């Protein structure tokens, strides 16, 4: 609870930063940066046949899981799967701060097609947001 009060004392804004990541996931992490309130938390190119990226979406310190769930279920997952099929999987799980953690797992052999698909979705998301009723923004 003290953390929430401390965070509420200061205005929060989004800023893009540079960070070191495994070479095998760098393109995916960069592509995910097209979504303004998506925050990559962890990533790994793995030792198996899959790479993995964990992220949150939305202002999780102000809102609950709804913003992330809407992003994944209403926009991101259906459109990504339409383009890449089962090359990627998405799992959502609750976190201690009432938000959702989102795990994106991609077959190593499909990293580049998934990266391209995510880059393609970035501009479509802007159009999607503009078309939403004000109540859902």
pTM: 0.84
* Confidence (pLDDT) at 8: 58
- pLDDT recorded at residue 1: 44
Give the architecture (CATH level 2) of 22-136. Answer: Alpha-Beta Complex (3.90)
- Give the span between the Cα atoms of 40 and 38, in whole angstroms: 7
**CB atoms < 10 A from the CB of 34, how many?**
16
Q: Which residues, other chains included, contact 41 with Cβ-Cβ below 8 Å and sequence gap of 6+?
A: 54, 55, 56, 101
Q: For residue 106, count other CB atoms closer than 10 A to its CB.
A: 26
d(CA 108, CA 54): 16
64-80 pLDDT tens trace: 688 888 899 999 999 99
Distance CA 16, CA 93 (A): 25
Higher pLDDT, 117 or 37: 117
- Domain extents for the chain? 22-136
Report the distance separating Cα 65 and Cα 92, nearest Å.
10
Residue range 101-113: mean pLDDT, rounded: 96
Which tokens belong to 97? 């701060």
Report pLDDT for 7.
Answer: 52
């Amino acid at each position: 609870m003290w953390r929430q009060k401390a965070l509420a004392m200061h205005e929060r804004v989004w800023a893009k930063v540079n960070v070191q990541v495994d070479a095998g996931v760098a393109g995916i992490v960069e592509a995910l940066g097209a979504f303004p309130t998506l925050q990559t938390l962890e990533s790994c190119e793995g030792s198996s046949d899959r790479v993995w990226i964990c992220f949150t979406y939305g202002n999780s310190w102000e809102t609950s899981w709804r913003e992330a769930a809407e992003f994944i279920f209403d926009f991101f997952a259906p459109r990504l799967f339409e383009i890449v099929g089962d090359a990627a999987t998405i799992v959502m799980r609750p976190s201690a701060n009432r938000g959702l953690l989102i795990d994106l797992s991609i077959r190593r052999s499909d990293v580049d097609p998934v990266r391209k698909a995510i880059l393609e979705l970035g501009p479509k998301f802007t159009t999607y947001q503009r078309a939403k009723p004000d109540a859902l923004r």
